[in-house]
Amino acid sequence: MTLIKSISGIRGTIGGAPGDNLTPLDAVKFASAYAIWIKENSGKSAPKVVIGRDARISGAMIQSLVQNTLIGMGCHIVDLGLSTTPTVELAVPNENADGGIILTASHNPKQWNALKLLNNKGEFLNGAEGQKILDSAEKEDFSYADVDDLGTVEVIENYIDRHIKMVLDMPVTQIDAIKAAGFKVVVDGVNSTGGIAIPALCKALGVEVVELYCDPTGHFPHNPEPLKEHLGDLCKAVKTHNAHFGITVDPDVDRLAFVDETGEMFGEEYTLVACADYILGHNKGNTVSNLSSSRALRDVTEKHGGIYYAAAVGEVNVVQKMKDQGAVIGGEGNGGIIYPDSHYGRDALVGVAMFLSLLTEKKMKVSELRASYPSYFMSKKKVQLVKGMPVDAILEDIHTQYKSEEVTSIDGIKIDFADQWVHMRKSNTEPIIRIYTEAPSQKTADDLADRFIAELEVIAQQHA
């Protein structure tokens, strides 16, 4: 059982002892700390906070705890109920709120939940802001509102519909062309809120939808991370139903992946590549992704005459780099699309609309679209952290060992070789070191990852 406190929020497994897991006491403590920060940041004694949640089993309990804690701190609540991360992000500025909380553990299994914290722009907090909340939670110096100053609740049940309308209203969404194309898709909603949002968006665009695991019960039918090894049922369903392609999202609908018409994965790394290809074809400019994302985005960006920039891992870092460089689109290689003309947050609904629009322009099958992009293969592995392991020192030793190569150290260590790269970093959400590699073949990528796992183990033994 685990509780992870980071600048991006608090994430943990349900049940167990306070401080070791995400228990009711922990939820109340961190909600109280966030309320203190939101009051200081807004300068208001009664700030407005938007709250939404994915469909995981613990969601209603955690929302009740968090929401009522905020009411007890004098905050006014806009309750979206079952929602998506990008929906809450859009709702914060639209409702003139001072912040927002999304109750979701993203791609983590059902025993996990989390509080993901937003500012008044509907964007994730930066490091300094997040640290203030962690420090406040540690002190537990809370002061709650008197009975006459308790907060209120406004329930808005149709915000996903509003979100869909915003996507339809984007100038880049080619509604008529999509409706005329006669697409048929299979949607795997992993029994969370993607099962509400994605089919509804597709139907609004005139797309025939076969729903797979779209009942928002929170009982995930498979590991909810949208990776190839978890999506066997979707791959089969696309072929069984003779669909043009398949769509899958994670439980809070900020990650997006596709399956082509043959039942093969389009590749989560290529979700952003395809969407960027579409946007850059209409609006020349720069792009951003994180250090662990595919080189294919750089290639496509340069093909369109733009400049590609890399950011440290983490949505807040990608967003800041996008703002700094005036990027027209960006995101993360895990299937996260960030389109500034909509909002600065990963949004699977925006990505679906872009992908459908791109297909109407290219007039090719999804497998043919994938074949038109540079072909890279990634390996994503991890090393479990041992308590007391000097991770920073170990990574610094790797840096020294490869100092003659192109090394980036803004987030862990990334080593760029001529035709391949490896990125090693501590995870912000799990007690592990992530090791991502990319190469011209899957075997080469896997071998490179295994090589660095072995090197890390040798160096770790030297530090033992």
- Choice among 106, 289, 292, 293 that is catalytic: 106
Residues in the chain where the model's pLDDT stays below 50: none
Angle, vertex CA 81, rays to CA 80 and CA 87, nearest 5: 50
C-alpha to C-alpha distances, 368 to 132, 281, 334, 363, 364, nearest whole angstrom = 49, 18, 21, 10, 6
C-alpha to C-alpha distances, 249 to 20, 105, 230, 242, 255, nearest whole angstrom = 29, 13, 12, 20, 5
What's the mean pLDDT when you consider all of the chain? 95
Catalytic annotation on 292?
no
- Euclidean distance between CA atoms 61 and 69, whole angstroms: 12
Residue 452, pLDDT score: 95
The closest alpha carbon to 448, from 391, 396, 405, belongs to: 405
DSSP single-letter state for residue 22: B
Residue 264, pLDDT score: 97
Strand partners, 346: 338
Model pTM score: 0.93
pLDDT digit string, tens, across residues 236-247? 999 999 999 999
Which domains are seen in the chain, by residue range?
Answer: 3-157 (3.40.120.10), 162-371 (3.40.120.10), 377-463 (3.30.310.50)
Q: Decide if 358 contacts 426 (C-beta within 8 A).
A: no
Q: Decide if 87 contacts 160 (C-beta within 8 A).
A: yes
Q: Decide if 53 contacts 102 (C-beta within 8 A).
A: yes
How many other C-beta atoms lie within 10 A of the C-beta of residue 326?
10
Residue 1, pLDDT score: 52
